[in-house]
Amino acid sequence: MIWRVTFISFLGVMASASLLPGVQATDERQGPFFAMTEENDLFAGFLTGDRTDRHYTQGLKLTYRDGDDELPQWVVKTSDALPPLWMNAHAQNIGYVFGQNIYTPEDLQTRTLIKTDRPYAGWLYGGVFLQRRGDTGDARIPVLESFEMDLGVTGSPSLARFAQENFHRWFDRGSIPRGWDNQLKTEPGLLLKYQRLWRLSINEQWSHYVDLIPHAGAEVGNIMIFGDLGATVRVGVNLPDDFGIQIIDSPVSLTGGATPHSPPFSLYAFGSVDGRAVGQNLFLDGNTFRGGPSVERDPWVADLDAGVALGLFRHLELSYTYVLRTHEFVGQEKADVFGSLTAKAMFLF
């Protein structure tokens, strides 16, 4: 199974890490950035020929991250209280996120509950994250550590029904979803996220053209509980001093702001594999206390990603990621695909 390949691959990556000297960590200050990520199964359909509108069908996330060490005093105290966990931190950043995810069954025209397919559900949330960037010490391998807390709501207040029905009224009146009366109940949600990433390369010169970014992390809360392992390979020109492109539900939010010495142009392709051991998924398991629609969750899920990123004028980065996600619940007929588009504006204040 793909998740077994993912796990074995990650072990191989970590075993080889000691053979790679890593990229020299930079002490250059990164500026703030603002990013918008839009995900939709429609963005993958033009590659597969499958005009999907099912399961995880739409996501929107806005991210703002301050520049290096521009932290409120309470964040500084919180960060200082956290153990170093085998890293020397050179810079810290605080950031904020706001987003909405929409989930549906495959059949949007049935008004009654479809017990064998994913329930209608929405997730509207906001959050704050702290990132610590540094290196591993003697090996000088760059490392990023991310802590995040998201608060939100499911059910009608998530505005998922409003968003999807009105989108179809405006652009596709012949297929307005008819089953939103069966969506998950209203429930407040909490997600605590943690992830650590390492950036490895053959040497300083090669780090501008190819690198390997292993990661390990977890999410805990009434919305999700899972642990994940994976890695990303990037190949291109003028690779940015960050830790790769992230999709919306990655445990780490976007990283990397521009510095005065960032190259004015970058272009690279990337591929990644991510395996998850899932202990809770409210959007499949149903509401925590109030029952409602649910399906039997698959505890092992993997993502296979491929994409391209373009950096322009030291202040703009555009990226596209194609995501193939293995079965998330029992009875799912085939793997899901969706595309992720991100536009990031970087500032040098």
| SS3 sequence of 161-229 | HHHHHHHHHHHCHHHCCCCHHHCCCCCEEEEEEEEEEECECCCCCHHHCEEEEEEEEEEEECCEEEEEE
The domain that holds 319 is classified in CATH as 2.40.128.140
Model pTM score: 0.87
- Domain that residue 29 falls in: 2-346
The closest alpha carbon to 104, from 90, 118, 83, 89, belongs to 118
Report how many domains make up the chain.
Answer: 1
Q: Identify the band that residue 17 occupies on the pLDDT scale cut at 50, 70 and 90.
A: very low
pLDDT digits (tens, 9 = 90+) for 254-294: 998 888 888 889 999 999 999 999 999 999 999 998 778 99
pLDDT digits (tens, 9 = 90+) for 26-36: 447 888 999 99
